[in-house]
Amino acid sequence: MLTQQPRNGRAPSVKDVAAAAGVSLGTVSNVLNRPAVVSAATRERVERAMAELGFVRNESARQLRAGTSRALAYVMLDGGNPFFHDVAEGIETAAEDADLSLFVCNSSGRSEREAKHLDRLLQQRVQGILITPVDPDAPHLADLAQRGLPFVMVDRFSRAGGHCSVAVDDVLGGRIAVEHLIDRGHRRVAFVGGPASIGQVRERLQGARAVWAEFGMPEEDLIHLPTEALTVNEGRSAGERLAGLPSRRRPTAAFCANDLLALGLLQHAVTAGLRVPDDLAIVGFDDIDFAAAAAVPLTSVRQPRQELGRTAARLVLDEATNPAHVHEQATFVPALVARASTGTVRR
């Protein structure tokens, strides 16, 4: 039974909880912040008082005292790409295990929007930031490091090594995608992807060109079709440009820089009456869930999306809590998942 009720019209305070439970303010504070030092019976009495009063701790006041919130933040590059949502799910799993919340922001590929998100997150005093940046060398990222705020680059490598990063080997991913198409008998291949300002696009194209040259293929038979974004609409547009090429120059296969482009290209091909993979074989990158569920199941280079997120969260939490933390550049190996969109070996 409560010994005292708070006055009507205001939220119950720590004082109200102490009065209701018949304990000191210090005891209530210990229950909130160091429950292990309070006896089980007293802790139960205080927690029952909190529940009956409807008490909610003042997290803003706690943040002012502690200097940090009980939250991490992830600034994703493209909220329309399921890949980043899967990464965020992995981060959230690790955050929950640490009894933290996760703020998710979307830069939409715009550097100025990214910088504004980071300013707000600094004001919120988050424990750490995970970010897939528009530009890994942007000044506002260097500012994060100078402020001493733990942060991890996700799906990007740290060139300077001044912070942690988690990424897949995109050059290798490009290599295995194009080698798969060569093994299927294709001798004219399109690389569909852009803009070149995105590091993953450049590195996947680099890998594609390297393996193409190693197999002794003519340079001009690996055709680069740049796109303005990594979206389904841009994939459809690339399909229209492929169809407009002279038949003697038209590729029989395409490697797309991500699955959204590949799905758009696949949609255009099916609508145009092309047979996939007989007329056009298609490989994507990321292996999002939609890849396997496409009208023609899509061959794709798989990234361990949730594992990327969990690893990034582990690293940022270690930096936030471990004085002996050492920055780590975690690299994952991509794997090809072959499906119907590339079929069997061409004769």
Q: How far apart are CA 292 and CA 192, in angstroms?
A: 20
Beta-carbon contacts of 284 under 8 Å, excluding residues fewer than 6 positions away, are 256, 258, 259, 261, 262, 263, 291, 298, 299, 300, 301
CATH of 68-167+305-330, one of 3.40.50.2300, 3.30.110.60, 3.30.1330.50, 3.30.70.100: 3.40.50.2300
Tell me the whole-structure pTM to 2 decimals. 0.80
The 3-state DSSP class for residue 17 equals helix
Same fold, 68-167+305-330 and 170-304+336-342: yes
Task: Match 């590949």 to its residue by tokens.
Answer: 262
More confident position, 56 or 220? 220
CB neighbourhood size of 36 (10 A): 6
Res. 1: pLDDT tops 50: no
CATH of 170-304+336-342, one of 3.30.1050.10, 3.40.50.2300, 3.30.1360.30, 3.40.50.300: 3.40.50.2300
pLDDT digits 0-9 by tens, 125-162:
899 999 999 988 888 888 887 888 899 999 988 776 68
Res. 70: pLDDT tops 90: no
pLDDT digits 0-9 by tens, 212-237:
999 999 999 999 999 999 999 999 99
CATH of 7-57, one of 1.10.260.40, 3.40.50.1820, 3.40.50.2300, 3.30.70.20: 1.10.260.40
Q: What is the rounded average pLDDT for all residues in the chain?
A: 91
Delimit the domains of the chain by residue range: 7-57, 68-167+305-330, 170-304+336-342
- Specify the DSSP element, H or E, that contains 27: helix 25-33
Tell me the pLDDT band of 347, cut-offs 50, 70 and 90: very low
Do residues 184 and 190 lie in contact, with contact meaning Cβ atoms separated by under 8 Å? no
Structure-block tokens of residue 172: 């290798």
Q: How far apart are CA 106 and CA 115, in angstroms?
A: 11
State phi, psi for 314 to the nearest 5 degrees.
-60, -45
The 3-state DSSP class for residue 328 equals coil
Q: How far apart are CA 342 and CA 282, in angstroms?
A: 6
Q: How far apart are CA 317 and CA 32, in angstroms?
A: 22
Tell me the pLDDT band of 283, cut-offs 50, 70 and 90: very high
Following DSSP, what letter does each residue of 214-231 receive, concatenated?
HTT--GGGEEEE--SSSS
Res. 87: pLDDT tops 60: yes
The mean per-residue pLDDT over the stretch 77-91 comes to 96
The sign of the torsion formed by the CA atoms of 194, 199, 204, 209 equals: positive
Res. 6: pLDDT tops 60: no
Res. 345: pLDDT tops 70: no
pLDDT digits 0-9 by tens, 175-202:
999 999 999 999 999 999 999 988 899 9
Classify burial at 75, counting beta carbons within 10 Å of its beta carbon; exposed 0-12, middle 13-18, buried 19 or more: buried
Tell me the pLDDT band of 40, cut-offs 50, 70 and 90: very high
